[in-house]
Structure 1
Amino acid sequence: MSRTAADGVRVTPARLADGREIVYFDEDGAPPRVPEPDRRDLPPLSTASELRFDPLLREWVVIASHRQGRTHMPAADACPLCPSTADRATEVPAGDYDVVVFENRFPSLAADGGRVLDDVGEVERSRRPGTGRCEVVVFGPDHNASFADLTPRRVRTVLEAWTRRTRALSALPGTEQVYCFENRGAEIGVTLPHPHGQIYALPFVTPRTRRILDSARAHRERTGRDLFADVLRAEQEAGLRVVARGEHWTAFVPAAARWPVEVHFYPHRPVPDLPALTDAERDGFGPLYLDVLRRLDRLFGLPLPYISAWHQAPVRTGRDLSRLRLEVFSVRRAPDRLKYLAGTESGMGVFVNDVAPETVARRLREAAP
């Protein structure tokens, strides 16, 4: 049954042939959707995902050997994210859609199914099923488009999908953190070129989030202030690295950027996650984000490969210390050169950036149309 959200987006859930959930997000003005049946004969979803704990770094590692056989860079006429046609059924049974979200057919994390895993000789026995959920978010039916080609209205619809799925996945038993992200470009490792992103419901708080929360806690104990508010204030007052600013959001290159191109988006009001944004803050995000994405593509005169990562507060811990923000970064450092993680980065986690953050910010400001 379709449900209409506050901003006019109509939400219609359905099921795929193997039982996976699919949710359509149709924009205002679209007629009520009657979900088309999935015509494919699919076997039940089966995964071999498991979690193992690294005793040296005190971090969880996901082992997902079943993903070796996932779809990799298919031809355009074999894309599984395009709308279905009379001659070919895809992951989206509909002949057209605005935004659609569905459970990944090759998930890194999934329901455990009651599996029992044997001991494999760990120092600290930790091996357990990789419980969680992985979803695909398709930004539109145009196979050759990118996020930067979307309209502000479509970005608002995508934001509604991220928000509603964050709420739904946060409510699942065992979810500790919800992570929404987009990978764009073959240089990043994208296996499907159709514009899309993913959402992970993680059964643990990620290592980076834990470390950032430790920093925020130490900053509050030392100064009595909010770390993220101080970072945003310092960037706004200096102005050296601010790329664009609106009524509700500021985009800036961080002073200690690790990547050759890196831009952070902070809402001006401290909120823990996407559901906490107001309608005005959600409306203000799209125009600013599209502006910066288009500047990124003009930076080297070709589509920029990037990862766009939403940082949201964990579901149960550190919510008073967290702040919603978006981080976009790229491995491209010149039109014909990529940054590879070399010995210091891969071996020791010490990043060396060949490009000054102030230079990147200035060039992005100059890239305005």
Structure 2
Amino acid sequence: MNFDRPHRRLNLLTGQWVLVSPHRAKRPWLGQVEKVPPENLPQYDPTCYLCPGNKRSVGVVNPPYTGTFVFDNDFAALLTPEENGDDQRTTGLFVAEEENGICRVICFSPRHDLSIPEMTQEEVEAVVRTWSDQTLDLGQKDFIQYVQVFENKGAMMGASNPHPHSQIWATGHIPNEPATELERQAVYLAEHGSCLLCDYLEAERRSGERIIAVNDDFTAVVPFWAIWPFEVLVLANHHIASMPDLSPRQVSGLADILRQVTTRYDNLFEISFPYSMGFHQAPFDGKPHPEQHFHAHYYPPLLRSATVRKFMVGFEMLGMPQRDLTPETAAQRLRELPSTHYRLR
């Protein structure tokens, strides 16, 4: 098949198609141009509600933390059953039901000016261990079925504070995206007797076209079905279901691959690269999930430069997602970037 001509690709994890139009990559850009975010943040910001020792907007004072710091979100999108009231469900054509949960914030570092690619290997390992510990803690609560770990980096992705942090939303039901992926993985396992992402990773290894970084325990690829221009899928090399299943060596491997991916992101346009990232793992619904393969998605918005972003509008909202830059070209550009952060060169 000629991938230089318009074609569509199937996302094996969702069953959705993406339209690829490589010939449009040469079109001139007259659309919105973003402002380049400031680069010179202070190590400590007295006005930041996440820095150590500072007072948050609700009046709580942060401890003088020196590593990671976790607290319940002051403006949580979810409430516990005690806060939310009795479980109720509507019927008929207007269906709604209570959704309980817990939302937490995880600060990566006391340093206001750091992000994952500029942190040390040991510091990022501490973040991974904190994610794992929080996943296990929240997943053991009897009203929680799913734990979603995610990071929004940069104002372009809706981050309200540049201090390095992520969030965890633990929900009483399995959210749409992981539920769809679970279903697709379960169908594949039933039909083929093997793991979908194990088989996909082996196919990507044989191809090599879309791999951008690899170590003994994790592989980062631009997925064949990528929607966002420089989207990345991080896959565990060995079949595990969730973050608490990580061995100490795999914790180190995950920290290393996250640093490799985000360093290449920052080096692409020599800015602190914005993205939304999150892990998909097994639910805490009391059922076995042999189909689930632990992985992470990176969805960055930038397209041509630090100031030109991709928008999901028009045909993409009403028809299907569409991209101009092929995943193979995006992977090559990321793969060929230096592994040393541009600020250290």
Task: Please give the TM-score of this superposition, normalised by the length of structure 2.
Answer: 0.79
The partner residue of 2:316 within 342, 345, 362 is 345
Q: 1:368: how far off?
A: 2.0
One-letter code aligned to 1:268: N
Partner residue in 1 for 2:326? 356
One-letter code aligned to 2:311: Y
RMSD: 2.3
**Local SS of the residue matching 1:259:** coil
Cα distance change, pair 177–121 in 1 and its aligned pair in 2 (3 A): closer
Partner deviation per Cα, 1:12-45 (whole Å, 9 max, x = no partner): xxxxxxxxxxxxxxxxxxxxxxxxxxxxxxxxxx
Cα distance change, pair 284–291 in 1 and its aligned pair in 2 (3 A): same
Is 1:146 the counterpart of 2:107 in the alignment? no
One-letter code aligned to 1:210: A
* Unmatched 5+ stretches in structure 2: 1-43, 340-345
Are the equivalent residues in 2 in contact too, given 1:180–1:310 (CA < 8 A)? Answer: yes
2: distance between equivalents of 1:156 and 1:100? 14
Q: 1:123: how far off?
A: 2.0
One-letter code aligned to 2:194: R
Partner residue in 1 for 2:168? 199
Are the equivalent residues in 2 in contact too, given 1:81–1:90 (CA < 8 A)? Answer: no
Partner residue in 1 for 2:208? 239
Matched residue count: 292
The partner residue of 1:314 within 269, 283, 294 is 283
**Local SS of the residue matching 1:83:** coil
Q: 1:278: how far off?
A: 0.9
One-letter code aligned to 1:355: L
One-letter code aligned to 1:77: P
Q: 1:284: how far off?
A: 1.6
Higher RCO (CA 8 Å, separation ≥ 6 residues): 2
Identity in percent: 28
Partner residue in 2 for 1:212? 181
Task: Please give the TM-score of this superposition, normalised by the length of structure 1.
Answer: 0.74
The partner residue of 1:106 within 47, 72, 75 is 75
The partner residue of 1:97 within 63, 66, 72 is 66
1: distance between equivalents of 2:61 and 2:225? 41
1: distance between equivalents of 2:308 and 2:117? 22
Aligned pairs for 1:40-79 (under 5 A) are: 76-79=45-48
Is 1:333 the counterpart of 2:303 in the alignment? yes
**Local SS of the residue matching 1:77:** coil
Q: 1:194: how far off?
A: 0.8
Q: 1:276: how far off?
A: 0.6
Aligned pairs for 1:115-154 (under 5 A) are: 115=85, 123-128=93-98, 130-154=99-123
**Local SS of the residue matching 2:323:** coil
Q: 1:341: how far off?
A: 1.1
Cα distance change, pair 219–293 in 1 and its aligned pair in 2 (3 A): same
